[in-house]
C-alpha cells in the first residue's frame, strides 16, 4: 500500500512541473491577425515566417521570429 501511495505522489509532482502547453495556430491565421496580435502589418509577418517549415506555431514562437526579423539589418 505504501508503494502505491509513493507512485501516486511521484505522478502528481511530475504533472505539476510540466510547463503549460501553448495553443498553436495555422501560419495563415497568424498572418491574418498580424495587426491585432503582433501590432504589425501582415506583410511583415508573412516575410518573417516565409522560410518556416511548419504549418502551425504558437503566438510566442511567431513573435520571437517576427521580432528577430524586424531587428535584422538591411543590406
pLDDT tens per residue, range 27-71: 999 999 999 999 999 999 999 999 999 999 999 999 999 999 999
Handedness of CA 40, 42, 44, 45 (dihedral sign): positive
Question: What is the pLDDT, as a whole number, of residue 74?
Answer: 84
- The residues spanned by each domain of the chain are 22-75
Question: What is the pLDDT, as a whole number, of residue 26?
Answer: 97
Tell me the pLDDT band of 3, cut-offs 50, 70 and 90. Answer: low
Tell me what the mean pLDDT of segment 4-22 comes to: 62
Distance between terminal CA atoms of the chain?
Answer: 68
State the Cα–Cα distance between residues 35 and 41, nearest whole angstrom.
6
The β-bridge relationship of strands 24-26 and 56-58 is: antiparallel
pTM score, whole prediction: 0.71
Amino acid at each position: 500500500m505504501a508503494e502505491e501511495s509513493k507512485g501516486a505522489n511521484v505522478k502528481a509532482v511530475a504533472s505539476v512541473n510540466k510547463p503549460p502547453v501553448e495553443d498553436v495556430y495555422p501560419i495563415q491565421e497568424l498572418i491574418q491577425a498580424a495587426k491585432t496580435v503582433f501590432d504589425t502589418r501582415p506583410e511583415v509577418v508573412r516575410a518573417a515566417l516565409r522560410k518556416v517549415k511548419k504549418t502551425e506555431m504558437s503566438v510566442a514562437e511567431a513573435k520571437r521570429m517576427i521580432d528577430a526579423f524586424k531587428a535584422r539589418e538591411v543590406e
